[in-house]
Amino acid sequence: MNANKIYPWYFSSGAIVLYLLFIVAPALLGIYYSFTDWNSYSSEKNFIGLEHFRTILAGDPTYLLFIKNTVLFTLVTSIAKTVLGLFLALLLVSGVKAANLHRMIIFSPQVLSFLIVGLVFKSLLDPNNGFVNVTLRSMGLDVLAQNWLGSLTWAMPSIMAVDTWKGMGYIMVLFIAGLLAIPRDYYEAASIDGAGFGQKLFRITIPMLMPTITIATVLNITYGLRVFDAIYVLTNGGPGNATDVINTAVYSSFAKGYWGLGSALSTILFVIMAIISFFIIRLMNRKVEY
């Protein structure tokens, strides 16, 4: 009996050691460094308490803009990916022709590097010769042509749209798996009782999909809060700081040698992710139990 208890720990000990060494230890060091003035201009690491956090949360309003952009990006893209992913999943499991081909096409952007996606969309959204503006002008809709990635108004929505296009295929696949796991008997019984599409959707499909919705929501939120590549490739935080988020600020801080400040920003991001994920999981689980 004792051997049976020991064996799982014995066989997983290597993975546990690697996890502690490469995940837990760096995370704890990062939290510690966020309370120091560690930088590239001095060999000393002096403990300064909450000074970095005061600067970020109450000192420099620029950092509050980064936090606001991060939360806004996460909220919009999470909702968009979830809604579009569910819509596409419902469409593709409803018996549409060539469903497998459509799944492959919609999912394919997910496997592409954002460097490639970003370069393609930078070309498509070019204000002068980009496909989008050229098409709008050819249709006589010059008033709709915009400097999509260089405008304070349109830069962030454009990045959100590109990110949603790239990521919704993955969420769609999750929902397809969830939909196929729902017993058909429920829908047949509902049809016999005269239930329409809307009643089936809100009384059978969505409640039964709640575990999948929870997973999709947490994945979307954690990705949105950690976003870097989409911003860096498409606008590099511009124009000005209009599209800067927490991770681009972390990158900038480390690049400039302010490692303690960058660690503090990372710590704030970690806390935000942990709190939001915790409450989302609790909320979704309550709905499932209900």
Tens-place pLDDT, residues 175-201: 999 999 999 898 889 888 888 888 999
pLDDT, residue 58, reads 86
187 within some domain: yes
Tokens of 252: 């900038």
Residue scoring higher pLDDT (223 or 11): 223
- The answer to whether residue 122 sits within a structural domain is yes
User: If we measure between CA atoms, which residue out of 179, 199, 180 comes closest to residue 190?
Assistant: 199
Which is it for the CA torsion 258, 264, 266, 272, positive or negative?
negative
User: Residue 254 is encoded by which pair of tokens?
Assistant: 């480390």
- Residue 49's pLDDT is 92
**Does residue 215 form part of some domain?**
yes
Question: Which pLDDT score is estimated for 88?
Answer: 95
Mean pLDDT calculated for residue range 104-114: 92
Instruction: Let me know how long the chain is.
Output: 290
Buried b (16+ CB within 10 A) or exposed e, 156-174: bebbbbbbbbbbbbbbbbb
Say yes or no to pLDDT of 44 above 60: yes
Q: What is the pLDDT of residue 290?
A: 38
Specify the residue for token string 């970095």.
52
Burial (CB count within 10 angstroms: exposed 0-12, middle 13-18, buried 19+), residue 123:
exposed
Rounded Cα distance, 224 and 228, in Å: 9
In a domain, 197, yes or no: yes
Least confident of 68-72, 193-197, 199-203, 282-286: 282-286
pLDDT at 259: 94
Question: Which is more confidently placed, 285 or 95?
Answer: 95
Residue 182 contacts by C-beta under 8 Å, 6 or more apart in sequence? 204, 205, 208, 209
Please check the confidence at residue 45 and state whether its pLDDT lies above 90.
no
Residue 118, domain CATH:
1.10.3720.10
DSSP class of residue 24?
Answer: I
Structure tokens at 54: 């005061």
Instruction: Answer yes or no: is pLDDT of 168 > 70.
Output: yes
Q: Which residue has the tokens 């909450």?
A: 50
Q: What is the mean pLDDT of residues 104-132?
A: 93
pLDDT of 285 reads 67
Enumerate residues 6+ apart whose C-beta is below 8 A from 147.
Answer: 127, 154
The pTM assigned to this predicted structure is 0.88
204 occurs within a structural domain: yes
What's the mean pLDDT when you consider all of the chain?
A: 90
Which domain range does residue 200 map to?
70-289
**Residue 277: per-residue pLDDT:** 80
Is residue 37, in this structure, part of any structural domain at all? no
Q: Is the pLDDT of residue 51 over 70?
A: yes
Q: Token digits for 265?
A: 């920003």
Q: Quick count: other Cβ atoms within 10 Å of Cβ 121? A: 26
User: For position 164, what pLDDT does the model report?
Assistant: 97
Number of structural domains (the chain) is 1
Give 248-257's long-range contacts (Cβ < 8 A, gap of 24+). 248/66, 249/63, 249/66, 257/39, 257/40, 257/41
Higher per-residue pLDDT: 280 or 160 = 160
| C-alpha 279, offset from chain centre | 17
Mean pLDDT is lowest, of 18-22, 151-155, 211-215, 286-290, for 286-290
Would you say residue 42 lies in a domain?
A: no
Is residue 198 assigned to a domain? yes
Tell me the average pLDDT across 104-115: 92
